[in-house]
Chains A and B, each alone.
Chain A
Amino acid sequence: MSSSPTLTSRLKGRSELGVALLLGAAGVLVLVDAIALVTPYSQSDPVGPKTLPYIVSGLLLVCAVLLAINVLRGGQGEAEGGEDVDLSHPADWKTILPLVGAFVANILLIDWAGWVVSGTVLFWGSAWALGSRHYVRDGLISVGLAVLTFYGFYLGLGIPLPAGLLEGIL
């Protein structure tokens, strides 16, 4: 790793180093947080609340370093397969981003507009992002699911999901 050309070529296609970075960051975070705890020594609790965080941050930092070394030497984590997973093409961000968008829309809407509206947006948006183009059928399913779960949770389980904008109608 002495000269920069080798370094750049080594870094190329090593997105997994990001995982090592994340582990390292998590380790530092846990460590800093543990140091900041103020606890007087107590006879009844000699271990205290700091010990486990120290161990965990140590584990994370060691893993971060070993993973970085492993990746730089050509190691690679194996991406997970599955029934509907086709690893032969690269990650399809055109699907993920709208999907995350639908999810975020639900978070923003749920308290204000209520579950029936936000849940409809979530299902319809997710189905659209995943490639469904039956707009009307998707819409009907979305509304049906959202209304059904709203009443199911309210009447069946006694959990009041927010009604939001439709307060008084539902």
Chain B
Amino acid sequence: MDVFSSLMDGFATALTPMNLLYAVIGVILGSAVGVLPGLGPAMTIALLLPVTYVLEPTSAFIMFAGIYYGGMYGGSTTSILLNTPGESSSVVTAIEGNKMAKAGRAAQALATAAIGSFVAGTIGTALLAVFAPIVVEFAVSLGSPSYFAIMVLALVAVTAVLGSSRLRGFASLGLGLAIGLVGMDSVTGQRRLTFGQPLLADGLDIVVVAVAIFAVGEALWVAAHMRRTPLHVIPVGRPWMGKQDWKRSWKPWLRGTAFGFPFGALPAGGAEIPTFLSYVTEKRLSKHPEEFGKGAIEGVAGPEAANNAAAAGTMTPLLALGLPTNATAAVMLAAFVQFGIQPGPLLFANEGPLVWALIASLFIGNFLLLLINLPLAPMWAKILQLPRPYLYAGILFFATLGAYSVNLQAFDLVLLLVLGALGFMMRRFGLPVLPLILGVILGPRIEGQLRKSLQLSAGDPAGLLGEPIAVSIYIILALILAWPLIFKLVRRNRPAAAGPVPATEAAPAAPSGSSVHADLPVHPDGAAHTGSSIHSQSSGKPDSNVQSDGSAHPDKKETP
């Protein structure tokens, strides 16, 4: 069956009244939690997992699709109206978006974000529909050694490329893999890390781990550092754009989409790099460069489009390879597994109707987002005023409920608290959360592929290199790991290029290196209290980045 007719069948499934209702619920829920601080789409889906067991898998995933896109949009609303981005992907939006809002152009900023998200999301989903089957065709020919290599690449790339400290990323990954080890070994039935505790034999439920790390950890962390002064939310009416705004927005939308989708689809995806690249590009190309830093609409339109296109791109490896590259995709993978569906190349063959309904509902969710969120923007601004004690008490309440309802045992709540404390510690000491979640979810799958690969070669490690794809992936992997070293050598040989030293080392991933970072204005009110990597780069803290690898470095400040 060709893509188009499959997709039409998907629409037929997704447009039944019940499924449409779930999509609407998903979009509203997603936007609400995206707007609310402390909650994100990944956590929302994790919390809803036990609840959705009673649903058809198709309906559940249609709702998840709505939550996914809704959450992205909600996040940008907060950045624009509050200047405190909740997620790293909306950091860039806050730079110009909040300036626009302060200048009385909040309605236009929200409008260009919403319409740009719609444009990018729609194009991105179309690309997903076209490319995912192609990737699948390629992927079915791969054997275990290649899958093993791809999964290792995804783990290492997410850990090494995102976030500000590689060392802390790998520490988090190690903890996640260790958590993933707990329970009965799937091949031999041996109990690992259960300490004779029968309740641990089935392993730690992914719902409990995700809810603990995302929700409980966040609630405890915020409780420790609650902002006592009320936040200043800029009031906003219904979003709209003038003719001039349209004229200045449409090109950034398209360029942002072009940046976002490929980065989202890569194993080391994420929306940080494309949003950032889009911002810099728009600044260069703008006919109004003087407005940048004072609220240029291009600086909102481009990054927002990039953000949403990356979100669509992320679905490609998830559906075609069973490979999640962000937290939401990781939780969705867990959801597939809990519904007894095996993600990966066979997904399209075995669960065709479900996959195409999911893709169709991504289109529908996008459209609903535009339809619902333009009129509801003032309401989202009001949600931001919810008293904080209720918000965080509510998060703890529903986290407990979600985790308890999986197995109805109080022991899970003890785990919830212990892992929540771990989440608190990780936030305190700058350990990124994503590698841990990916480690928990991918760890057992990686082990499975490793065993299968070596079973074929009767234990000879050379079996891991048995496929050409695997070999090329290991070369890419080596390059990613050696990148900071190469970068240092190159810089030493070209001292002229060593201008902004702390800034150049800050992001080993940004391809255009120093020039990119030098362009980013230091963000005066954001730099002090946002933990995002971009702010730290622009403020040029000497010890926050590559040096954290523990490697010796000439600029090192030795504390006596």
Contacts and interface: CB of A to CB of B under 8 A. Distances in A.
Interface of A: 6, 9-10, 16, 19, 22-23, 26-27, 29-30, 33-34, 37, 39, 42-49, 51-53, 56-57, 59-60, 63-64, 66-67, 69-70, 73-89, 91-93, 95-96, 99-100, 102-104, 106-108, 110-111, 115, 119, 122-124, 126-132, 138, 141, 145, 149, 153, 156-162
Nearest to A64: B171
A74 B556 contact: yes
A89 B84 CA distance: 18
Contacts of B228: 86
Lowest 9 A-B CB distances belong to which pairs? A77-B430, A46-B459, A83-B37, A126-B393, A132-B389, A130-B389, A74-B559, A80-B531, A86-B227
A36 to B, nearest CB: 10
Contact of B193 (A22, A29, A44): A29
Contacts, number: 278
A84 B192 contact: no
8 contacts: A26-B178, A45-B187, A56-B174, A76-B544, A78-B536, A91-B225, A153-B405, A161-B404
Question: What size tier do the contact residues of chain B reach?
Answer: 35 or more
A33 B165 CA distance: 29
What DSSP secondary structure best describes chain B's contact surface? helix
Nearest to B457: A46
B428 interface: yes
B467 interface: no
What DSSP secondary structure best describes chain A's contact surface? helix
A9 B78 contact: no
A141 to B, nearest CB: 7
Interface in B536-550: 536, 541, 543-544, 547-550
A19 B425 contact: yes
Interface of B: 37-38, 50-51, 53-54, 78, 82, 84, 86, 164-165, 167-168, 170-171, 173-175, 177-178, 181, 185, 187-188, 190, 192-193, 216, 218-229, 231, 387-390, 392-394, 396-397, 400-401, 404-405, 408, 410, 413-414, 417, 425, 427-431, 443, 446-447, 450-451, 454-455, 458-459, 528-532, 536, 541, 543-544, 547-550, 556-560
A56 B178 contact: yes
B531 A79 contact: yes
B544 A78 contact: yes
